[in-house]
Structures are given as structure tokens and as C-alpha cells.
């Protein structure tokens, strides 16, 4: 599948969606899972936009593939090494008054995807998120 690349900013958000969601639909991802994929892509892109390059110019790319019955997206940037999956999970059991604003993006990535993995490969951060494809249709 073609690789998408752009600068990590909010303007790229609709472009990433328009690239990835049709690929996922063509690959047979359950329509009910598409909003979860949409969400996971946004959270990762916002994370890259806010943290990867510390204000410097940079790029990211999204590479999609079907592998082992899953639709997978690899999101790659060349910023400082950062494993978002290593961050401690937020406390989701507090009252509204005690609850800090923010910090929920990665929790949504890990719970809404079926599988995710981080790797530092050379100079790149590579975050792979996968969604199971259903096999009961045919």
C-alpha cells in the first residue's frame, strides 16, 4: 500500500484519515472499527505533532499493511527517541475535581487498537497499531 508522508501538524489530520480509512475499508476492516482506527490515528499524530520535534521542522509517515489477519499502520517519525507506550497509565478512577486535564491519548490508543508496539529503528520512532480483520464473512 502507498506510504503517506506529511508534516506533523493538525492540517495533516484530515489528510491522514482520507489516506488510511479507505485502505482499511478495502482491506475488510469492520465498519464499526473504523471510528476506533480514526481515533487512534488522531491520538498518535497529535502526539507526534506535540512531542517529536520540539518545535523543529520534521516529517512523519504512515505505512499500512495487512498482516496475520490484521490491518496495521506503522507511524514513523525521526524525532527524539520516545516510547509513548512506556508512559504510566492515567488514573481513570478519580473525581472530576481531582482529575488532571489531559493525558488520555495513549490510553485510548492502547485500548481501542487490538495490538500496538513501539520500536526505535535507527533514527526513527516506529509505532505500529493493528486492528483485527473479521474472517466470518466468507
Partner 1 sequence: MEFSSSKHGDKLVVTVAGRMDAITAQEFDTQCRQWLAAGDTNVIADLSGLEYISSAGLRSILSAAKQLKGAQGSLAFCNLSGMVEEVFVVSGFAAMFTMHPTLEDALAG
List residues binding partner 1 (CB under 8 A). Answer: 10, 13-14, 35-36, 38-39, 42-43, 46, 92-97, 99, 101-102, 104-105, 107-108, 111-112
Please say which residue, 29 or 112, places its beta carbon nearer to partner 1: 112
Query: What CA–CA distance (Å, rounded) separates 1 from 17?
Result: 15
Per the CB < 8 A criterion, the answer to whether 87 and 72 are in contact is no
Comparing C-alpha atoms, which of 81, 61, 64 is closest to residue 121? 81
Least separation in angstroms between CB 125 and partner 1: 19
Please say which residue, 14 or 138, places its beta carbon nearer to partner 1: 14
**Close Cβ partners of 55 (under 8 Å, ≥ 6 residues apart):** none
Least separation in angstroms between CB 48 and partner 1: 12
Please say which residue, 88 or 93, places its beta carbon nearer to partner 1: 93
Please say which residue, 16 or 130, places its beta carbon nearer to partner 1: 16
Per the CB < 8 A criterion, the answer to whether 4 and 22 are in contact is no
Comparing C-alpha atoms, which of 116, 121, 113, 58 is closest to residue 84? 116
Amino acid at each position: 500500500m502507498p506510504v503517506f508522508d506529511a508534516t506533523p501538524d493538525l492540517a495533516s489530520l484530515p489528510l491522514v484519515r482520507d489516506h488510511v480509512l479507505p485502505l482499511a475499508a478495502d482491506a475488510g476492516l469492520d465498519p464499526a472499527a473504523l471510528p476506533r482506527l480514526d481515533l487512534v490515528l488522531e491520538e498518535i499524530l497529535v502526539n507526534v505533532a506535540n512531542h517529536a520535534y520540539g518545535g523543529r521542522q520534521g516529517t512523519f509517515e504512515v505505512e499500512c499493511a495487512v498482516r496475520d489477519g490484521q490491518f496495521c499502520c506503522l507511524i514513523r517519525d525521526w524525532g527524539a527517541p520516545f516510547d509513548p507506550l512506556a508512559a504510566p497509565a492515567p488514573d481513570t478512577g478519580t473525581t472530576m475535581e481531582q482529575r488532571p486535564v489531559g493525558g488520555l491519548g495513549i490510553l485510548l490508543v492502547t485500548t481501542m487498537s487490538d495490538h500496538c508496539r513501539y520500536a526505535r529503528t535507527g533514527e526513527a520512532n516506529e509505532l505500529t497499531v493493528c486492528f483485527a480483520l473479521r474472517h466470518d464473512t466468507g
